[in-house]
Amino acid sequence: MPKISFQGERGAYSEDAAVTFFADSETIPCHTFAEAIESTETEKTRYSVLPVENSLEGSVGESYDLLRSTNLSVVGEIYYRVSHCLIGSDKLENIDTVYSHPQALGQCRKFIQKYKLTPIPAYDTAGSVKIIKELDKRNIACIASRRASAIHGVPIILEGIEDNANNYTRFLVLSKTKIQDGDKTSIIFSVKHEAGALFNILKEFNDYKINLTKIESRPNKSTPWEYNFYVDFDGNQYDQRIEELLQKISQQCIFLKILGSYKKAKLS
């Protein structure tokens, strides 16, 4: 039974995603994303699960920065449908304050504004259930999953409070061991800060008729106003055409890192 590290308390959405991806596993909670990654790097766990983007709130910057520095490979992805619950010990009309992770608060912005609730950021959705349970005040609630409510023994006031039903979080599964199969590849690269540098890289993808499924820039922490580009595309890094393409673009990059090839996930 493989051990899977995730950030958060028991009942966190990262744990839910891990349980969804791995039919039989032991999940290990960690305080931070970095700790979850380190656990796999030091082989305390076989895999780690990392949230990278949400369909409503966008990318998780800290996760993308960790992908740049880790020696782990991406071996899978999960699109997990997020359904938020308002959790607390009193009726909705008596609640004036709500705790949760900033991403969850953002995903329930309309609900929070409608009921004039004061949002308080917490380190984790499931952790916010633990917080309000310890505070034991009738006027406070939190936003987390149904599973977190059951685990920590705090009742659900209302379900499905997210602003949009099409609320999905994409998670990556990382491991020290690469996989050979897969129909999707993720890379990180940086180019010289000059006219046409990025265009020339994208032109290579076009010339090889490779479909880009995502491209995003993140600041390079070591050099002001320079950026790393995170790209997902259809294809396997071990395919001859993809190998040839990656070799060509590597000659035009200051930095290129292949995060891994893996099987493309489907929205469930």
Q: Span 112-119, mean pLDDT?
A: 98
Q: Kindly tell me the number of DSSP H helices and DSSP E strands found in the chain.
A: 9, 15
Q: Which range is least confidently modeled, 86-95, 175-184, 231-240?
A: 175-184
Query: Are 171 and 48 part of one and the same domain?
Result: yes
Query: How many C-beta atoms surround the C-beta of residue 158 within 10 A?
Result: 16
Instruction: Please give the single-letter amino acid code of residue 258.
Output: I
Say yes or no to pLDDT of 7 above 90: yes
Q: Which domain holds residue 118?
A: 85-159
Q: What percent of the chain has pLDDT over 90?
A: 84
Residues 171 and 68 in one domain: yes
- Final residue belonging to a domain, choices 145, 175, 205: 175
SS3 content of the chain, % helix, strand, coil (to 5): 30, 35, 35
Count Cβ atoms within 10 A of the Cβ of residue 224 and give its class: 0-12 exposed, 13-18 middle, 19 or more buried. exposed
Does one domain contain both 49 and 110? no
Shared domain check, 252 and 209: yes
Residues 56 and 171 in one domain: yes
Same domain, 44 and 171: yes
CA distances from 179 to 190, 193, 238, 246 (A): 25, 34, 10, 18
Can you give the CATH number for the domain in which 133 is found?
A: 3.40.190.10
Mapped onto helix, strand or coil, the DSSP state of residue 249 is: helix
pLDDT at position 220, please?
82
What is the domain count for the chain? 3
Q: Which residues are catalytic?
A: 169, 171
